[in-house]
Amino acid sequence: MNSPAPPPVLDLDPAVVQRARELTQRLGQPVVDIARSHTTVSVERAMLRLAGLSGADHERVPWVNHLAEAVRADVGLEHGLALPVWDALRRGEASDLLTLAQRSSAGAVTFRLPEKGERTSAARAATAAVRPGMKKMDQQRRARERLIKRHGDPEQRPWIYLIVATGDIYEDMEQSKAAARDGADIIAVIRSTGQSLLDYVPEGATREGFAGTYATQENFRLMRAALDEVSAELGRYIRLTNYASGLCMPEIAALAGMERLDMMLNDSMYGILFRDINPIRTFVDQRFSRQVHARAGIIINTGEDNYLTTADAVQAAHTVTVSQLMNEFFGKEAGLEDWQLGLGHAFEINPEVPESFRLELAHALLARQLFPDAPLKWMPPTKHMTGDIFKGYLLDGFFNLAGAMTGQSILLVGMMTEAVVTPFLSDRGLALSNVRYVLKAAGNFTEDFSPPPNGFIQNRSREVLGEAVDLLDHITSQDAPAGSTPLLEAIAIGTFGHMKRPATAGKGLEGVAIKAEGYCNPAIDLLEADGWGSAP
Q: Which residues are catalytic?
A: 270, 305, 377
Using only C-alpha atoms, the chain has a radius of gyration, in whole angstroms, of 23
**110 to 94, 113, 435, 517: CA distances (angstroms):** 12, 11, 60, 22
d(CA 339, CA 237) in angstroms, rounded, equals: 17
Q: How many CB atoms lie within 10 A of CB 383?
A: 16
Q: Nearest CA to 262 among 288, 298, 217? A: 298
Q: How many CB atoms lie within 10 A of CB 474?
A: 13
Contacts of 291 (CB under 8 A, 6+ apart): 334, 335, 524, 527, 528
User: What is the DSSP secondary-structure string of 32-80?
Assistant: HHHHHHEEEHHHHHHHHHHTT---B-TT--BHHHHHHHHHHHHH-STT-
Quick check: bond before 84 cis, omega within 30? Answer: no
Q: Nearest CA to 78 among 28, 119, 46, 43? A: 43
User: What is the DSSP secondary-structure string of 204-257?
Assistant: S-----SSS----HHHHHHHHHHHHHHHHHHTSPPEEEEE--STTHHHHHHHHH
